[in-house]
Amino acid sequence: MALIELTGIERVFQLGDSEVHALTALDLSIGAGEYVAVMGPSGSGKSTLLNLLGLLDRPNAGTYRLEGRDVTTLSPDEQARVRSERIGFVFQSFHLVPRLTAAENIALPMTLAGIPVKERNVRVARALSGFGLENRADHRPDQLSGGQRQRVAIARATIMQPALILADEPTGNLDRHTGEEVVNLLEALNASGVTLVVVTHDQAMGARARRQLVMEDGRLKHDSGQPAHAPA
């Protein structure tokens, strides 16, 4: 069974008088454990796709099935629960809370989910050592390097053990070397079974994924996983 199934997805934005079709007639299926790169020029709809997959946005038409369950019709609170338990986000600009320490940032999803302090501490300690951040636990984000910040963000994205990680230009704010480290980290997570969807401009990074989706004008232009759908 596919982890993600999109059928007939439409997303239309109202910009003044004109309608912008960010996504048009999108059908997409991603299996559990896949490693997918979404590429395309800016404005092609890849960020909109990522927001839809992350339940931060709702399509105007079409259905989105996550783990076989139609999530487009869920209430906002139920969607919040799905985000909390099944989806992890990694952002280009890290989005760490500046006044919280690395450990507290990593614990934030568990704090929001109401997991007791004891359990939190155990899992944060495990994550800190897993991501090589033991000595940085009490540092605030402005005391961390870019690579360390993104590692904290990835630790935060995985702390709830989600089935799906959505990464939006995860290396966009990093130099080549630290970017490489972060990609290795994400790929290691994928190797452990987590489905990974990465939006990127970077051809080299996109090429590392096992499946490439190329978007243009809100449509899927190329899908390396299903060549039949993509007449070049």
The one segment of 31-39, 86-94, 181-189, 191-199 that binds another protein by CB under 8 A: 86-94
Question: Hey, is 59 helix, strand or coil?
Answer: coil
* Residue pair 25/13 in contact by the 8 Å Cβ criterion: no
Question: What tokens appear for 167 in the block?
Answer: 């990464």
Binding mask 33-72 for another protein (x = CB under 8 A): ------------------x--x-xx---------------
- Dihedral of CA atoms 32, 37, 40, 46 in degrees, nearest 10, equals 40
Binding of residue 16 to another protein (CB under 8 A): no
- Contacting residue, 20, 21, 91, 222, with another protein by CB under 8 A: 91
Binding of residue 229 to another protein (CB under 8 A): no
Binding of residue 20 to another protein (CB under 8 A): no
Site for another protein in 167-206 (CB under 8 A): none
Measured in whole angstroms, how far is the alpha carbon of residue 96 from the centre of its chain? Answer: 15
Binding of residue 80 to another protein (CB under 8 A): yes
The one segment of 35-43, 98-106, 174-182, 219-227 that binds another protein by CB under 8 A: 98-106
Q: How far apart are CA 23 and CA 67, in angstroms?
A: 22
Q: How many CA atoms lie within 13 A of 147 on its CB side?
A: 14
Rounded (5°) CA angle 146-150-153: 140
Adjacent-strand bridge partners of 216: 219
- Contacting residue, 19, 70, 85, 119, with another protein by CB under 8 A: 85
Q: What are phi and psi of 222, to 5 degrees?
A: -145, 135
Binding of residue 76 to another protein (CB under 8 A): yes
Count Cβ atoms below 10 Å from residue 149 Cβ, excluding itself: 25
In the complex, minimum distance from the CB of residue 227 to another protein, in angstroms, rounded to a whole number: 32
| Residues found near another protein in the complex (CB under 8 A) | 51, 54, 56-57, 76-77, 80-85, 87, 89, 91, 93, 95, 97-100, 108-109, 111-114, 116, 156, 160
